[in-house]
Every structure is written in structure tokens, then in C-alpha cells.
């Protein structure tokens, strides 16, 4: 199987930009990723998109957005899933040899619609939607249980929230509260586009491992604190990369709220059970600038996390590895995880035979 390398990335974050349409936002970000990779749209063999009809407010959204993402007359696949899942599919296209150069792009424009009403529409129309359930509401249920079962969550939540930094002051970007979540623990809605270029030619970063996991659709059938889908996805990715969580120097874990991020720390093994909030407050591997407080809109965030992980590896100048994850609607039912490594890392040499 082919080895897969990350050649170029781009992320753009804005809010209600009246000078650019959604297609403009996508085009600008994709063009930046292609330029960063040193390729053009003509060099692409495949395009994988992460976009959601309901979030975009466009039926079959890729019919009107795919051309802006360099997918015109290309081998294109669109997932109604998180950008990290799109990245995993893009990795599979290159690793299998069916494409040598693959663009992955994902986006969401929170300013175009009522985010909580969109989230409510994704739940079961008979058993859950009538209760006005939203993804923030599910995070509130998780927070309630975490605070009851783990004393450390209440002790460290202020420090973890403060580490996220200041929030934008625009009230239109704030989320509706869900007890016991506080304003500083909620996401700030944004218009987000992310793009990445994968190739089989060596570059500075290699995709060492990927994994995916899923949970039952019904909330009552899920382990709200354990995130088993993320645990499974990260275990797969780390195993394929031939490393453990102790070998990871950069963490970019997707979570809608601070409590989701804290529980994700436990699911991937970066923190012990009940210690995830302390990890969010103190663990230097977790980048506070990558937290959802700076701008959030599904389904782009998993790809944003991967891009941020790649940049932190490059900017840090280390030969370590990074673990990034992305969670999908509804309320993190599915999870994808990716391990990246700097080319030249001696630990990667043992990986070659497994591929």
C-alpha cells in the first residue's frame, strides 16, 4: 500500500461576511491549500468533501458548492459527515493507489441559519426532537454526569475555561445555554472552511494512522461519558501508527463544549478517568488556541483539528507525532482520529512494513 503525505493545508474562519458567498469562502480556502501544496486543480485525481445539507441550507449541497472546491469534472465524493471522516476517506484513496493526489475540504457556515434549530432537526422526529433536544443539550447532560461522578471536573473547570482565552464579543455568535454549562464553556459559532492536500509523494508530514468509530443513534443507548467511538477510533489510529498516546506530543481533540473536550482527553487515554478537565487546564500537548471557543461550525471541525495539528508539528520543529480527532453529528455519534508524524522521525521506520 502507498504511504500518504500531507502536502498543503488552509483554514479560514469568519462571520457573516457579506462580501463573500459560501462558494467564495470555499474557493478562497481551497485555492490557498492548493498553493500551499504547490499544485493546481488540474493535478487532482480525487476530491473528498465534508458538507451537510441541513447546515448549508442547500439540498444536495455539493451540486452548487463542489465546483468551488475544485471538484468540477473530478472524481468527487461528498460525506454528510465531519471533515476528519472525509480526511480518512481521502487517505484511503491515496493509500489504495486509486488516486495519487487528493484534496479534502470541509465547511460550515453558522451565520446562515439558527444553529440550535438545525441541531434539533437532526434528532429522531418522534422520540427526541419534540423535547427540543440540541447538541448543546446533550453536552449539558454529559456535563451534569461528569460533575456528579468526578469531583475534579468542578475543581478544574474555571482554570480550563480561562485557558481557552477571550471570546469574541458578538452576541449573535453565542450559543443558547444548557445547564450546567457556562458561557465560557460553549462554542462560538463561526463560518469555517478547511482544506488539505494528500499525495503519495514524500513531504514534511506523513499520515501514520487513521481510525473511525461509531455509537448507537439513540442517546439512551450511549455511554455519554466514555466516548467509546473516540476510544475505538484513537486506538485504531495509534495502533496503525505503531505508537501509544505517550508518544504523542500534540493533541487536537474536537469537542463541541469544554466538557466534551475534557471527556475526549480521557477517551484517547491522555488523561485518567475523571481527570480530563485537569488535562484541559494543564496538559501542554493540548493547544488552547485550537479550542472551539475561537470559532466552531460542524462539519468542518475535525479537518480544522488535523490542520492545526499539522501546523503545530511543523512550527514546533519536533520529530514527534500528533493525534487529531473529529466528532460528527448527531452529538458525536461517530468519531474519526488521525495520527500525523514528521518525516524523518526514527520511530516511523517500523511502520513501513505494516503498510
Q: Where are the domains of the chain?
A: 4-112+189-341
At 283, the pLDDT band (50, 70, 90 cuts) reads very high
The predicted model gives 304-329 an average pLDDT of 91
Share of the chain above pLDDT 90, in %: 79
To which CATH superfamily is domain 4-112+189-341 assigned? Thiolase/Chalcone synthase (3.40.47.10)
Q: How far is the C-alpha of 184 from the C-alpha of 170, rounded, in Å?
A: 14
The owner of cell 490542520 is: 307
pLDDT tens-place string over residues 79-99: 989 999 999 999 999 999 999
> Mean of the per-residue pLDDT values for the chain?
92
Q: Which three cell numbers stand for residue 116?
A: 440550535
The predicted model gives 40-59 an average pLDDT of 93
pLDDT tens-place string over residues 223-239: 999 999 999 999 999 99
Residue 351 has pLDDT above 50, yes or no: no
Q: How far is the C-alpha of 218 from the C-alpha of 222, rounded, in Å?
A: 7
pTM: 0.94
Residue 64 has pLDDT above 80, yes or no: yes
pLDDT tens-place string over residues 201-229: 999 999 999 999 999 988 889 999 999 99
The owner of cell 483539528 is: 305
pLDDT of residue 319: 76
Q: Is residue 87 within 8 Å of residue 47, measured between CB atoms?
A: no
pLDDT of residue 173: 83
The owner of cell 469555517 is: 192
The predicted model gives 129-145 an average pLDDT of 94
pLDDT of residue 344: 67
pLDDT tens-place string over residues 228-277: 999 999 999 999 999 999 999 999 999 999 999 999 999 999 999 999 99
Which of 43-47, 82-86, 173-177, 307-311 has the lowest average pLDDT?
173-177
Q: Is residue 274 within 8 Å of residue 346, measured between CB atoms?
A: no
Q: Is residue 333 within 8 Å of residue 214, measured between CB atoms?
A: yes
Task: Work out whether the CA dihedral 50, 58, 114, 24 comes out positive or negative.
Answer: positive
Amino acid at each position: 500500500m502507498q504511504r500518504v503525505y500531507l502536502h498543503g493545508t488552509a483554514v479560514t474562519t469568519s462571520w457573516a461576511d457579506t462580501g463573500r458567498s459560501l462558494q467564495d469562502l470555499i474557493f478562497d480556502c481551497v485555492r490557498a491549500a492548493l498553493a500551499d501544496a504547490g499544485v493546481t486543480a488540474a493535478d487532482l485525481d480525487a476530491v473528498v468533501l465534508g458538507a451537510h445539507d441541513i447546515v448549508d441550507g442547500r439540498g444536495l449541497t455539493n451540486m452548487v458548492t463542489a465546483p468551488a472546491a475544485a471538484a468540477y469534472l473530478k472524481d468527487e465524493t461528498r460525506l454528510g459527515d465531519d471533515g476528519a471522516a472525509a480526511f480518512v476517506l481521502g487517505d484511503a484513496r491515496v493509500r489504495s493507489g486509486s488516486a495519487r493526489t487528493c484534496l479534502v475540504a470541509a465547511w460550515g457556515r453558522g451565520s446562515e441559519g439558527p444553529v440550535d434549530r438545525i441541531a434539533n432537526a437532526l434528532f429522531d422526529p418522534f422520540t427526541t426532537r419534540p423535547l427540543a433536544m440540541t447538541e448543546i443539550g446533550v453536552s449539558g447532560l454529559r456535563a451534569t454526569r461528569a460533575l456528579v461522578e468526578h469531583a475534579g471536573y468542578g475543581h478544574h473547570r474555571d482554570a480550563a475555561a480561562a485557558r481557552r482565552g477571550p471570546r469574541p464579543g458578538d452576541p449573535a455568535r453565542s450559543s443558547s445555554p444548557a445547564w450546567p454549562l457556562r458561557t465560557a464553556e460553549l462554542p462560538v459559532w463561526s463560518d469555517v472552511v478547511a482544506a488539505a492536500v494528500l499525495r503519495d509523494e514524500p513531504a514534511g508530514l506523513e499520515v501514520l494512522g487513521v481510525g473511525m468509530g461509531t455509537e448507537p443513534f439513540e442517546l439512551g443507548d450511549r455511554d455519554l461519558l466514555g466516548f467509546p467511538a473516540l476510544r475505538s477510533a484513537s486506538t485504531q489510529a495509534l495502533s496503525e501508527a505503531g505508537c501509544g498516546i505517550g508518544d504523542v506530543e500534540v493533541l487536537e481533540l474536537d469537542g463541541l463544549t469544554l466538557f466534551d473536550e475534557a471527556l475526549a482527553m480521557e477517551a484517547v487515554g491522555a488523561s485518567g478517568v475523571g481527570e480530563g478537565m485537569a488535562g484541559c487546564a494543564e496538559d501542554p500537548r493540548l493547544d488552547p488556541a485550537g479550542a472551539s471557543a475561537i470559532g466552531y461550525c460542524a462539519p468542518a471541525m475535525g479537518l480544522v483539528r488535523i490542520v492545526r495539528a499539522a501546523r503545530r508539528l511543523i512550527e514546533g520543529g519536533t520529530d514527534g507525532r500528533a493525534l487529531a480527532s473529529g466528532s460528527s453529528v448527531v452529538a458525536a455519534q461517530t468519531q474519526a482520529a488521525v495520527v500525523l508524524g514528521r518525516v524523518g522521525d526514527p520511530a516511523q521506520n517500523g511502520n513501513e512494513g505494516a503498510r
